[in-house]
Structure 1
């Protein structure tokens, strides 16, 4: 005879994060870039080289147009984050 009480459902490996509102796609950590791995093993004090200096030497020089486009996007992101913070404060006061 078949006993249905012994059937167990396999637990899903996808985990949901209420903080980010996203699901983990893989149970494995995503691989870090070589720059991140270099910094991971260095001390976190002021002796660490700034990531911006490293990235400037390892990539081609960006153009003024690229910098202008980046600054426009940065301003939009900052404005959006301010709006999000205001919304969050309004929600927390409810």
Structure 2
């Protein structure tokens, strides 16, 4: 699934106010990280993930690998933060960041 520029712009506006809900440390993409990301995407659709890896290339590889594993789109990268999105057609409007902050 590829996002349009308008979708990315809207998601960046929403994501600006979000706090990271998943943290990826030196252990990389453990089973716990992937399952927590799955849960967060199911509930919120749009989430921020913080990567504590200092080297840029390995960090970018992990960001892309995580998105691939959870079947999500990478919306934006700012330093060690990644904003990722996966649609949930049955999302709870009270939990979904996309539905709560819809204009």
TM-score by length of 2: 0.23
* Higher RCO structure, 1 or 2 (CA under 8 Å, sep 6+): 2
Q: Which has the higher strand share?
A: 2
TM-score by length of 1: 0.24
